[in-house]
Amino acid sequence: MRAGRKQGRWGDLPKRMASAAIMLGVGVVEIWLGGTTFSLLVVLLTGLMTWELARMQNPRALWVPIGLGVMASACLLAILYAPALWRPVLMALPPLACLASLHHRKVAAVYALAIMLTGYTLIDLRNMEGTLVIVWLITIVVASDVMGYFVGRSLGGPKFWPRVSPNKTWSGTIAGWVGAAMVGLATVILADEPWQVILLSPVVAFAGQLGDIAESWIKRRAGIKDSSSLIPGHGGLLDRFDAVIGAVVAIMLLSLLFPLPVPDSI
């Protein structure tokens, strides 16, 4: 009986560890590749995540999700080379196509825009600020998720948002912020970055947690468990990168309001 309860409590640990490995793997790939290769990787991921989103909203259709995924990749690739005047138009095309062709159209359009913004911002951050900011960002998401998982499952306590995400607790949420702050502290010490990075890191982690909740809500509304089966046994790309979407969109929006102390070492 006790063993059953323990297995139930930690039953999704393999998926959590897989998520951490995949995201850290992306960070390692970024360190070794960078440049055009990294941009093409992000373009591909953007298309696949848009396909997953469309597939969740319209599971019986075959060509509509595929078409939207191809459109998202093509638009992001075009944005990288298009004049600045055309970039907002290209950015808006996939969300508008989702609005016109999918169920739960408003939700799909907003999330499709978040995916597009994430892809563009990741490439822009890499090109403008260097490798460290990508590694910092992904490490924050991983540390927040791992710390939140273990502390939340161990301590339990009040739920963070029970109607939307019944498994998340306040203890796990706060532990995620602490884990992110530790990543910020390590970045300041090891990379000689400004101390404000320590304060920014939990904010980014919180945005990532909201991104995780948003994707879970979309799946629950669609009545499915995983965004796809692209990663055998571990779901889809959105299941693994939902927190990255929340974190990157938050960085982009905050940077429009004031300069952010993101790590910028090469």
Q: How much is the pLDDT for 21?
A: 74
pLDDT tens digits for 109-162? 999 999 999 999 999 988 888 888 988 998 999 999 889 988 988 888 888 888
Least reliable range by pLDDT among 3-7, 134-138, 245-249: 3-7
Q: How much is the pLDDT for 1?
A: 39
pLDDT tens digits for 220-243? 888 888 898 887 666 889 988 999
Q: How far apart are CA 67 and CA 53, in angstroms?
A: 12
Per-residue pLDDT, averaged over 41-58, amounts to 93
DSSP string, the chain: -HHHHHHHHTTTHHHHHHHHHHHHHHHHHHHHS-HHHHHHHHHHHHHHHHHHHHHHHSTT-SHHHHHHHHHHHHHHHHHTTS-GGGHHHHHHHHHHHHHHHSSSHHHHHHHHHHHHHHHHHHHHHHHHH-HHHHHHHHHHHHHHHHHHHHHHHHH--SEEETTTEEEEEHHHHHHHHHHHHHHHHHHHHHH---THHHHHHHHHHHHHHHHHHHHHHHHHHHT-SSS-SSBTTTB-HHHHHHHHHHHHHHHHHHHHHS--------
Most confident of 15-19, 56-60, 189-193, 230-234: 189-193
Per-residue pLDDT, averaged over 196-211, amounts to 96
Q: Please, which pLDDT band fits residue 265 given cuts at 50, 70 and 90?
A: low
Q: How much is the pLDDT for 3?
A: 42
Q: Please, which pLDDT band fits residue 4 given cuts at 50, 70 and 90?
A: very low
pLDDT tens digits for 8-39? 566 666 766 766 677 677 767 766 677 788 89
Domain boundaries, the chain: 10-257
Mean pLDDT score across all residues of the chain: 87
